[in-house]
Amino acid sequence: MAEKTVIRKATIGGRSFVLRNRDVMRALRNVEPEPIMSHYVVVGLRRFPPKQVISAVTGLDRADFTTHHARRTLMRLGFSAGRHGAMSRASDANAQQAPSASAPERLADRLRPLAGQWVAIKDGDVIHAAESAQALVGWLGRHGQHADSVFRVPDDELAATGLAPL
């Protein structure tokens, strides 16, 4: 996740923009991530398709630019990027800075920041997280997605153990 303010000039779809990482985060705050087909960027702990982000921030039609252009633009703003299905791959941005960051990251470790949230898992990856089971299943239905598993990431010992009722 980006922390300090980063400003970059970018030409996208033949138009010039001045983009700030904070503006991107603000613009995406109330936006529901669409399903990840291949590439994604991480904005505020959530994964978005790069084209969804650039379209939301610039207002451009998604047909006006490519996924790779969107991804590169967002990486220059400091956002991490990855590829669906490459669950063991560290973010491209981090990998460039720290070789050790390319070590495989376990799903359980990636779930830690999502404590208390409902998650949908598909092919060993988190495809969506939501504040309630209803919101999560609603998202799956709206986007025609099938999860392998849904559960709430434990945020305390009771949630983690279940403490069997007799």
Nearer to another protein, 90 or 120 (CB): 120
* Residue 166 in the binding site for another protein (CB under 8 A): yes
- 69-72: long-range contacts, CB 8 A cutoff, minimum separation 24: 69/12, 70/12, 71/39, 71/41
Nearer to another protein, 53 or 140 (CB): 140
Query: Of 7-15, 29-37, 85-93, 149-157, which part binds another protein (CB under 8 A)?
Result: 149-157
Q: Nearest approach, Cβ of 127 to another protein (angstroms)?
A: 11
Q: Nearest CA to 124 among 83, 87, 150, 153?
A: 87
User: Judged by CB under 8 A, how many residues of this single chain contact another protein?
Assistant: 37
C-alpha to C-alpha distance for 72 and 96, rounded to whole angstroms: 14
* Residue 104 in the binding site for another protein (CB under 8 A): no
C-alpha to C-alpha distance for 165 and 88, rounded to whole angstroms: 37
Contact 50, 39 (CB under 8 A): yes
Pick out residues in 121-140 that bind another protein (CB under 8 A): 132-134, 136-137, 140
* Residue 158 in the binding site for another protein (CB under 8 A): yes
* Residue 148 in the binding site for another protein (CB under 8 A): yes
Contact 139, 129 (CB under 8 A): no
SS3 130: strand
User: Contact with another protein (CB under 8 A): which of 15, 26, 89, 106?
Assistant: 106
Instruction: List residues binding another protein (CB under 8 A).
Output: 106-109, 111-112, 115, 120, 132-134, 136-137, 140-141, 145-166
